[in-house]
Each structure stands twice: as structure tokens, then as C-alpha cells.
Structure 1
Amino acid sequence: MLDTLIPLAVDGLASAALIFFVAVGLTLVFSVLRVLNVAHGSFYAIGAYVAASIGLWIASAGLNPWLSFPALVFSAAIVAALFGPLVERCLMRWTYGKSEAIQILVTFGLFLILEDLQRIVFGVRSLAEDTPMQLLGSTQIGDVVYLNYQLLLIGLAVIVVVGLRIMLTKTRIGRLVTAVVADREMAQSIGINTNRVFILSFTLGVFLAALGGALATPTAGAAPGLGAETMVLAFAVAAIGGLGQIEGAALAAIIVGLARVLAIYFAPSLDAVAPYIVMLVVLLVRPYGLFGQAATRRI
């Protein structure tokens, strides 16, 4: 029995880790900027393509293959540096305080632009680069073989959860972010530069999404349509956990990851819809998500 359950749990947690990086970036952006960013999945896809391209260049240049590990983080940093401040200043800033419908339309337009940009730069072919997974190899416990790269993903997700919580509660920038989330107008009145907080928060959200895409490259590669698929899944996870809730995103990602793996194992035909069945059940019981709470809306 354990020989079946443990591999399923490891696969589910590894899948949850990749989903979590995207969902927590989405929920961070929403909690600070109060914008539903439909284009968030595109940053995941671009991160995957950049990581695959850099990894393939390292291999073709004959460089040390272990450089492929820092290249994954470097790829996410490149995407965040290029798109984070630019998109926040030139586009997101004009949606603050607007209705959700306007925010969705604007960010959906951004999603279409980024999808076309992705095709222009990387083409329509798939890219695969699995050097990090090969370098780490596998571990056999009993009759079960585990990919060490999957265990690494789980560990990185735990580090991100703890790191975000420490940043928000123990650092100056974290306290500024918390103040802006609690009351934007009050934060401005006491001299907090909210525009800077918005740029930093949005850029961090882009980095987390791109990091998820980069880390997924060794196991899944990069392919056209990846952004749209990830975007829908990230919204499902964020809705289950509660928009704006970091711990909620982590728990929801675990639930969705395990649901997908169990569906693949017991009912393969339900693989694609399993996360949304979970979302439907949770929202019927708790409309604001597992960690979300009803709040008064200022008019």
C-alpha cells in the first residue's frame, strides 16, 4: 500500500510546487495591487522558454552542466527585470481602482500581446532541456524510484513559503507592503511611496511566475499554449486558497496537485477537470476560499 501512496504523494507535491510558484505570485499581486492579472500565466511560459534557451546554450557551448541550476533562477530574474517595472508602470498603474471587468479586459489584452511576442521570439516549436534532472539522478527506496529533482522542487516551494512570510513580517519592505494592503490611502498619508511598493510587488509576482516556468522546464519543457493552461490553473488555485492568501495558495496547490495525480492514477479521463471539480466543491462550501474572508467594499 505504501509503495503506491508514497510515490503518488511525491508526484502530487512536486506538481503542487510548480503550481504554487505561479499561484502565489498571482495572489501577491492581487493582495497589493488589487488587480486580477489574467496575463500572469504568460510570465510562466516566457520563464520556461528563457530557461530552456539558456540551458540549451550552456549545453551547446560545452560549459559546466551544473551551471544549468543557477541558470533557472537567472532566467526568472531576467523576465522579472524586463517585464515587471515596465508592465506595472505602463499598463497596470492605469487599472488601479477600476472595475474588475476593465482589469480583466486590459490584462487579457496584455496576455494576447505576450503570447504573440513569445511566438515571435521563440517560434512555435517546443523546447526541452532536462540537464538539471539528469544531473540530480534518482533515489531508490525499497522498490520505488524517486526523481531527486522532484524532491528539490518540494524543498524550494517550502523555502519560498517561509521566505515570503519572513519578508512580510520581519523586514521593512514587508511591513510597507502590509501597510499598503491594509489601507492604501492611510499608507500614502503617512508618507509611504505606494508606487514603489506596487512596482516591487508586481516584479516579485512576475519573478515567482517565471521561476515556476523555469523550474518546470527540466520535467515538462516549454510549448505553445503553456501560458493559457497555467493561467487558468493558477486562478483555480488562488480561488481555492482565497485571493491574497499566501498560506492559502500553498494549501490549495497541494490539494490541486494531489487531485491531479490521483485522477491520473485512478480516473485518467478526469485529469484535466480534477482541479476545477475541487475548486467548485470548495467554493460551494466557502465562497471566499479556504483562507479568504468576506470583507466590506468601499464605494
Structure 2
Amino acid sequence: MFQTIVPLFVDALANAALIFFVAFGLTLVFSVLRILNVAHGSFYSIGAYVSASIGLWIVSAGLNPWLTFPALLVSAALVAALFGPLIERTLVQWTYGRGEAVQILMTFGLFLILEDLQRLVFGVSSYYEDTPVALLGSIEIGGIIYLNYQLLLIALAVVALVAMRVFIGHTRMGRLLAVVVADREISEALGIDTRRMFTIAFTLGIFLAALGGALATPTAGVAPGLGADTMVLAFAVAAIGGLGQVEGAALAAVIVAAARVLAIYLFPALDAVAPYLVMLIVLLVRPYGLFGKPAIRRI
């Protein structure tokens, strides 16, 4: 029993860590900007492509292979710096105050553009760069072999969640974001530059999505279509946890990852639909998600 449950548990947590990063970014953007960013999955795949490209260059150039670890973080930062302010200040800003249909159509159009852009820049071949996994090796616990990289992913997800809570609760910028989330109109009346907060939140959301893609590359590689698959999965996690709820996204990521792992182990044919079955069950019981609450809508 131990040799069956423990590997499933570790695999579920490692998968949950990757899902959490992209769902975390999606949740953050929605909580501040009140926009469901359909293009969010594209930043995940772009982060994966950039990370794999930089990692392959480091290896081919004969540089220290341990540089592939900071390259994961640098890749996400580059994607966020390049796309975050540019897209928020142009396309996304144009949708503020408009209906949800306009926002979804705009971000979906952006998703299509970014998908084609990836094919133009990176081609249609798959990229594989597993140097970080090879460097960290594996560990044996109770006769079971685990990748140390999987354990690192779990730790990084926990660090990200704690760091965000510290940022929101103990820094001036974080408190300003919290005020904007609570009430946008009062924030503007108090003199808070909400447009600047929107840009920061959107860029940070892109960074988290790109970081998830970068961290996933050493274990799974990257191929065309990854953004679409990730986008749908991230929406499922955000819906289960409750839109705008960070803790909900963390718990939902664990639930979805556990459902996928159990499906692969027990019912392989249900692997692709397991997350959405979980979403259906949760939303039937709690339409606003596990942590979501009904809210009064201003008209």
C-alpha cells in the first residue's frame, strides 16, 4: 500500500505545483483587473519555449550546466517584461469597463496571435531540455525512486504562495493591490494610481504563467498546442477554487492533479476528462467554487 499511495501522492503534488503557477497568475489577473484572460495559456507555452531555448544554448555553448536553473527564472522574467506592460497598456486597457463578451473575444484573439507567433519564432518541432532534472538526480525513499526535481517543484509552489501572502500583507505595493481588489472606485478616490496597479498585476500574472511553463519544460518538454491545453486546465482550476481566490487555486490544483494521477493509475481512458469531471461536481455543489462567495454586482 505504501509503495502505491506515496508515489501517487508525490506525483500529484508535483503536477499540482505546475498547474498552480499558471492558475495563480490567472486568478491574480482576474482579482485585480476583473478580466478572464483567455490568452493566459499562451504565456505558459512561451515561457516554456524561451526556457528550453536558453537552456539548450547554455549546454551547446559549453557553459556551466547549473546555469540552466537561473535560466528558468530569467526566462519567465523576460516574457513578463516583454509582454506584460505592452499588452496591458494597449489591448487589455481598451477593454476596461466593457462587457465580458468583449474581454473574452479580445483575449481569445490575442491567444490566436500569440500561438501563430510561437510557430513563426520557434517552429513546429518539440523542444526538450532536461539538464536540471539530470543534475538533481533522484532519491530513494522507502524503496521508491523520486526525481529530486519533482520535490523542488513542490517546494517552489509553497514558496510562491507564502511569498505572495507576505507581499500582499507586508509591503506597500501589496497593500495597494489589496485595496484595488477590494474596491476600485474608492481606490481611485484615495488617489491610488489604479492603472499602474493593473499593469503590475497583469505583468505579475504573466510572470507566474511563464514561470510555470519554464519549470515544466525539464520534465515534459514543449510542443505546439501546449498553450491551449494549459489554458483550459487553468480555467478549470480557477473555477473549482473560486475566481479570484489564491488559496482556492492552490487547493484546486492539488485536487485536479490528484484526479489526473488517479485516473492514469486506475482509469487511463479518463485521464483527459478527469479535471473537468471534478469541476462539474464542485460547481454543481458550490457554483462559486470552493472558496468563492456570491457577490453583489453593480449595474
TM-score bin (small chain): over 0.9
Whichever residue aligns with residue 148 of structure 2, its letter is N
Rounded to whole Å, the distance in 1 between the matches of 2:259 and 2:153 is: 18
How far is 1:84 from its partner?
0.3
Give the unaligned 5+ runs of structure 2.
Answer: none
Rounded to whole Å, the distance in 1 between the matches of 2:196 and 2:116 is: 29
Rounded to whole Å, the distance in 2 between the matches of 1:188 and 1:113 is: 33
**Correspondence for 2:136:** 136
Rounded to whole Å, the distance in 2 between the matches of 1:30 and 1:83 is: 17
Whichever residue aligns with residue 14 of structure 1, its letter is A
Which SS does the other structure have where 2:145 is aligned?
A: strand
**Correspondence for 2:98:** 98
Whichever residue aligns with residue 270 of structure 1, its letter is L
Rounded to whole Å, the distance in 2 between the matches of 1:108 and 1:227 is: 12
How far is 1:167 from its partner?
0.8
Rounded to whole Å, the distance in 1 between the matches of 2:122 and 2:168 is: 36
**Correspondence for 1:274:** 274
Rounded to whole Å, the distance in 1 between the matches of 2:249 and 2:231 is: 14
How far is 1:169 from its partner?
1.1
Whichever residue aligns with residue 103 of structure 2, its letter is Q
**Correspondence for 1:184:** 184
2:204 maps to 1:167? no
How far is 1:298 from its partner?
0.4
**Correspondence for 2:46:** 46
- Structure 1 length as normaliser, TM-score? 0.99
Whichever residue aligns with residue 8 of structure 1, its letter is L
Rounded to whole Å, the distance in 2 between the matches of 1:275 and 1:98 is: 31
**Correspondence for 1:25:** 25
Could you report, residue by residue, the CA deviation over 1:87-130 in whole angstroms, capped at 9, with x for unpaired residues? 00011111112111111100000000000100000001100000
Whichever residue aligns with residue 207 of structure 1, its letter is F
**Correspondence for 1:240:** 240
Could you report, residue by residue, the CA deviation over 1:208-238 in whole angstroms, capped at 9, with x for unpaired residues? 0000000000000010000000000000000
How far is 1:142 from its partner?
2.3
Rounded to whole Å, the distance in 2 between the matches of 1:114 and 1:269 is: 31
Which SS does the other structure have where 2:180 is aligned?
A: helix
Rounded to whole Å, the distance in 2 between the matches of 1:2 and 1:87 is: 49
Which SS does the other structure have where 1:237 is aligned?
A: helix
2:46 maps to 1:69? no
**Correspondence for 2:107:** 107
**Correspondence for 1:201:** 201
**Correspondence for 1:122:** 122
Could you report, residue by residue, the CA deviation over 1:10-41 in whole angstroms, capped at 9, with x for unpaired residues? 00000000000000000000000000100000
Which SS does the other structure have where 1:229 is aligned?
A: helix
**Correspondence for 2:293:** 293
Whichever residue aligns with residue 39 of structure 1, its letter is A
Could you report, residue by residue, the CA deviation over 1:189-218 in whole angstroms, capped at 9, with x for unpaired residues? 111000110010000000000000000000
Rounded to whole Å, the distance in 2 between the matches of 1:204 and 1:91 is: 17
Rounded to whole Å, the distance in 2 between the matches of 1:97 and 1:270 is: 40
Query: Which has the larger displacement, 227-236 or 168-177?
Result: 168-177
Whichever residue aligns with residue 88 of structure 2, its letter is E
Rounded to whole Å, the distance in 1 between the matches of 2:98 and 2:260 is: 35
Rounded to whole Å, the distance in 1 between the matches of 2:101 and 2:240 is: 21
Give the unaligned 5+ runs of structure 1.
Answer: none
Which SS does the other structure have where 1:209 is aligned?
A: helix
Whichever residue aligns with residue 249 of structure 1, its letter is A
Rounded to whole Å, the distance in 2 between the matches of 1:80 and 1:205 is: 8
* Aligned residue pair count: 299
**Correspondence for 1:222:** 222
